[in-house]
Every structure is written in structure tokens, then in C-alpha cells.
Copies of this chain bind each other. A is one copy, B any other.
Amino acid sequence: MTARRVTLADVAWRAGVSKTAASFVLNGRDHMRIAAGTRQRVLEATAELGYRPNRIARSLRSDTTHTIGFISDTIATSQFAGDMIRGALDEASDHSYVLFIVEAREDTAIGQAMIEGMLDRRVDGVIYAAMSTRRVALPTALRDCPVVLLNCLAEDPSPPTIVPDEFNAGRDAARLLIEAGHDDGIYVVGGCHRTGRTPEGVYAGWERMRGIQQVMREAGLRLAGVRECAWHSPRHGYREVRALIAAGHRPQALICCNDRLAMGAYQAVGEAGQTVGGDVSVVSFDNSGLAGWLRPTLTSIALPHYELGRSAVRALLGGGGTAGFTSIPMPAVIRDSVRGPVRRSAWSNTVLLR
């Protein structure tokens, strides 16, 4: 620093009061003891000089740092991380808190050191976030600190937990197709994601499948098939849909478990000389950037990342009264990939029409 920092003494001098009086005003301990005129002069001097109290020193007295730790398993690999963090930032900012964001890769010494480094700086509470919904083992370093789980699940006893409502998202995907007139040849691409490193499948996959199957049963229908595959690249969606068509099947509608799989499905449908939205309806999940970029644009049930982030901060600052499990609705974003008219009336307020 080159410029001298404005101190409490400067403020007191400008206001014509003692340092103790100025300190009382600025620490909110001035009720009854300080005259209104004095208080006013201190606040004016603070504003004029651009004085900022030294929060580090103050936190030793007031036992709060107005800082929330945001621990994420991986900031980099998800395109959605930003929205979740932005939601958390906005809610924190509404309450004059700031976020201290740390990427702690699970089960690593570095991750552990990062978490401890954050606790050393005395955060008031911690949001522990995963970028795709999954079960986590809460680091032991966080055992004694107020914690909210964001987009992840822990074993009992669990802290307050904020997750997307994947089950109703699955229901909505199936309802969209049925209401568009589909009653046959409906396939799911992706399924529970029971592949590779996650043989048991992913939370989003299970919940979405459960919702889809329930709606199909309620309508007296059956899925024509479920193509289990990995979710991370359009390549997987492409392969599955190409194989389906090559085997002589004639899919009428595809429920793709994310927009990347839908992109691959588009590629395979196009190569087979068919059109999405005409010959084959496609509905998807996530509502990532891709959904608006594909031709025709893709109907997709949105992951509410921004609202997830906001809700987590709200739950943390709300204190202990918000224990349990909160599901955040996933709105359907309806575009041009499903054939036939969509009856807006059927969709109440959970659907955005773009």
C-alpha cells in the first residue's frame, strides 16, 4: 500500500468526538450512550473520509466475519457452476455477506488443506456444493461448523440439503410428450447413467427415470426402451440413437437425459434422413446453452442452478430452522423439438415458454 489507510482516529478527529465514541457508533453499540448529533457526525465523517473499519480486528470482538465459505468439489468441469455461485453471491450480498469460494477436490490432501485454510479465516458457515447431484462424505473438518449441502446428499445425520426436484422434472418430460400426442415408440437415452465409474447410476438419473415411469404408468403406456449410456458427450447419444435406428426401430420420441445426449441424438436422426420435431420429438434436461443453439431448438427441463445457490445461502443464514431436504422446482423450457402443439393451460406456472 502506498496511501496511508484512513483510521478510526481520523474519523474521530473529523467528527470532533473521542475514538471511543466513534468506535461505539461504528460497532453499533451506541444506543442510549451517544447523542444523536454525535452519532450523525461520526457517520458523516466515515462517509467523507471513506473509512472502512478493519473487519479482521472487529471479528475478534463481535464473533462474526460476515463471510460464508463456499466449498465446491469442482468449479471447472461444469458449465453450471457459475450460475450456482452467482445465485449464492446475490443472496449473500443481499445480507451484506461475502463468499469465500474454495475448490476442494474430495479425498485429497490439497482439498483438506484448502478447507482448513478457509476455517482458519473464521467463516460464519459453509455451503458444501457438488456440481452434479451426488452422495458425499462430509469432510470431518466441517463437523463442528454450520453447513448446508448444495446439490449433494450425505448420510444421516445430514445437514440441511438443497437439491433440484429431479423426480418432477422426469414427470414433466414424459407429460410433455404424452400431451403432444405420443403414445408409442418413446425411448429414454441415458437412463440412470449406470456406466463406468458410477455402476449404481447417478441421483439425477434415478429420480428422472422414476418420474418418467410413473407418468407412463398413469397414462397406461410403456416405454419402448431405455438406452443406458454415459452422459458426458454427444458421442454417446449419437451412438445409441444410431444403433437404435440401425436395428430397425422407429423411435417416435426421445427423452434424452441431458442436452449433450440430445445433441448426439440430433446428429443421428439427421444422418438417418429424418428431422427432429417432425419425424422424431426430442425432450431433454438441463437447459444448457446447447438447447438454444441446436436446430431446431431443444425443449429442455432446466436445472435451476441460480435458485439452488440462492436457496443454500438463505438456508444457511436462516439458521437451524431449515433442517431437512428442500427440492427446488425445475422449469420446463419449451422450444421446437417436440412435434404438435403444447397446451399452455396444462403447464401452470412451472413452464417457461420461449
Partner among B3, B59, B293 whose Cβ is within 8 Å of the Cβ of A233: B293
In the complex, which residues of chain B have a beta carbon less than 8 angstroms from the beta carbon of A263?
293
**Number of identical monomers bound together in the oligomeric complex:** 2
CB neighbours (8 Å) of A145 from chain B are 1
Q: How far is the CA of A131 from the CA of B118 in the complex (A)?
A: 25
**In contact, B79 and A85 (Cβ under 8 angstroms):** no
> Could you tell me the distance between the alpha carbons of A114 and B98 in the complex, rounded to whole angstroms?
7
Tell me the minimal C-beta distance from A268 to chain B in angstroms.
10
CA distance A295 to B2 in the complex (A): 56
State whether the Cβ of A222 lies closer than 8 Å to any Cβ in chain B: no
B121 engages A56 (CB within 8 Å): yes
Nearest B residue to A271 via CB reads B295
Contact check, A234 vs B99: say whether CB atoms are below 8 A apart: no
C-alpha spacing A145/B52, complex, angstroms: 15
Check if A143 is an interface residue, CB within 8 A of chain B. Answer: yes
Cβ–Cβ < 8 Å partners of A121 in chain B: 55-56, 65, 67, 98, 121
CA of A234 to CA of B96 in the docked complex: distance in angstroms?
A: 39
Q: In the complex the two chains form, is A144's CB within 8 Å of B101's CB?
A: no
Report yes or no: A53 in contact with B101, Cβ–Cβ below 8 A: no
The stretch of A70-78, A148-156, A277-285 that contacts the partner chain: A70-78
Q: Which residues of the other chain, B, contact A10 by a CB distance below 8 angstroms? A: none
Per-position binary interface string of chain A over residues 241-268, scored 1 when its CB falls under 8 Å from any chain B CB and 0 otherwise: 0000000000000000000100110010
B118→A292 contact, CB < 8 A: no
In this assembly, does A60 line the interface, its C-beta being within 8 Å of a C-beta of chain B?
Answer: yes
Supply 15 further A-B pairs (C-beta < 8 A) apart from A76-B82, A98-B100: A2-B144, A54-B122, A56-B65, A56-B120, A56-B121, A56-B122, A65-B121, A76-B83, A76-B306, A81-B82, A89-B102, A96-B117, A99-B101, A233-B292, A270-B270
Pull 24 A–B residue pairs with CB atoms less than 8 Å apart, ordered by A. A2-B144, A54-B120, A54-B122, A55-B120, A56-B56, A75-B86, A76-B82, A78-B82, A79-B289, A81-B81, A82-B82, A85-B101, A85-B103, A86-B103, A93-B114, A98-B102, A98-B114, A98-B121, A100-B100, A100-B101, A233-B292, A233-B293, A234-B293, A270-B270
Residues of chain A whose beta carbon lies under 8 Å from any beta carbon of chain B: 1-3, 52-57, 59-60, 65-67, 75-79, 81-83, 85-86, 89, 93, 96, 98-103, 110, 113-114, 116-122, 143-145, 233-235, 238, 260, 263-264, 267, 270, 289, 292-293, 295, 306
